[in-house]
Amino acid sequence: MSASRKTAATTAAAPSGDGAVVVDNIQLAKQAPLGVKIVRHFKRYGALWLMSLPAMCFVALFAYVPMYGLRLAFYNFNPREGLMGGTFAGFKYFNQFFKSGMFSNILGNTLRISLWTLVMGFICPIILALLINQIGSTKIKSFVQTVTYLPHFISTVVIVTMINIFLSPNTGMIGRLFPGKNLLADADLFTPLYWITEVWQHVGWNCIIYLAALSSVDLALYEAAKIDGAGRLQLIRYVDIPTILPTVGILLIMNMGNVLNVGFEKVFLMQNSMNLSASEVISTYTYRIGILGNQFSYATAIGLFNTLVNFFFLVLANIISRKASDTSIF
């Protein structure tokens, strides 16, 4: 080793204090070549990268690789030439969808069903979590939780079958209250029937995360509030609700990313010729156009439009939440 290198090494290794040693080591680490930094990183976090590798491969394969198919929205698809073929069409299929007579009806149905489901499916779990949290008995609380989240595990086909049985005009438990009237055939009732059954099925499951947040509340806060004369409503208002507000903000942002994503399976199974005017949404229309009608480019353009609108609402909700409560996901 040359004299200059020895002098530099001695200066770096023997500074005036321990704090300076740490600073010099950090500076030397930052000045290291990129390859050395990568090797050091994987030596330290290699096990974590290896553990997360299957999940990353799954997301890449099923979420990012299929995005190449979005090319069809801007090209005239030719089955003989495959995804790489076809002539460039620009925004032809987007204009076709916007100018079609079905656009306003489909978008209106999608927004109406989705917003009702989003709002009620967001509020009801919060209310249920606040009520369950007020139950004193551990056994009763566990029983109520179990009863409320069990419907979440029922398949969509079974749920729709139950809806048809309950609403049957002659034999249904609810249908008997409206003799001679098929509730599922009424277009005006499709939206409330959809979101009420959707909330009933998932309200118990969705409230679990709020119960987890409420479990972190310091019991001393409850005791102090009770000493000050607070009742159950005051405890909910001044202790429980402020505790879950950050969780509420994050979940609201994430739910806003699915504004136009109305569940295809349930809507499609509940559809019939009588309620089609109120039940035709973007997902079912895309299925009819793309799969049944073999208009793949047109269907891809509609699906891309749906995704862009969802992304816009996600970014908007994140901005509003960050400014209102300093809570955001990016």
Weakest mean pLDDT among 2-11, 111-120, 290-299: 2-11
Residue 18: its pLDDT value, please?
52
| For residue 321, pLDDT beyond 60 | yes
Q: What percent of the chain has pLDDT over 90?
A: 29
| pLDDT bracket for residue 5 (50, 70, 90) | very low
Q: Which of 274, 295, 275 is nearest to 286 (CA)?
A: 295
Beta-bridge mates of residue 87 = 76
Interval 30-86: pLDDT, tens:
667 777 788 888 888 888 999 999 999 999 999 888 888 888 899 998 888 877 778
**CB contact set of 316 (below 8 Å; sequence gap of 6+):** 256
Distances (CA, A) of 258 to 2, 94, 175, 308: 65, 21, 32, 11
What number is the average pLDDT over the span 102-115? Answer: 90
Residue 175: its pLDDT value, please?
83
Q: What rounded mean pLDDT belongs to the chain?
A: 83
Residue of higher predicted confidence among 13 and 306: 306
| pLDDT bracket for residue 26 (50, 70, 90) | low
Residue 182: its pLDDT value, please?
85
What number is the average pLDDT over the span 87-103? Answer: 90
Residue 28: its pLDDT value, please?
55
| For residue 188, pLDDT beyond 60 | yes
Which helix (H) or strand (E) is 76 found in, with range?
A: strand 75-76
Residue 151: its pLDDT value, please?
92
Which helix (H) or strand (E) is 111 found in, with range?
A: helix 103-133
Residue 260: its pLDDT value, please?
74
Task: Report the C-alpha dihedral over residues 174, 178, 182, 183, rounded to 10 degrees.
Answer: -60
Interval 192-247: pLDDT, tens:
999 999 999 999 998 988 988 888 887 788 888 888 888 888 888 888 888 888 88
Q: What percent of the chain has pLDDT over 70?
A: 89
Residue 24: its pLDDT value, please?
57
Weakest mean pLDDT among 34-43, 145-154, 284-293: 34-43
Residue 2 structure tokens: 């040359």
What number is the average pLDDT over the span 109-134? Answer: 90
What number is the average pLDDT over the span 82-106? Answer: 88
> What predicted TM-score, i.e. pTM, was given to this entire model?
0.77
| For residue 2, pLDDT beyond 50 | no
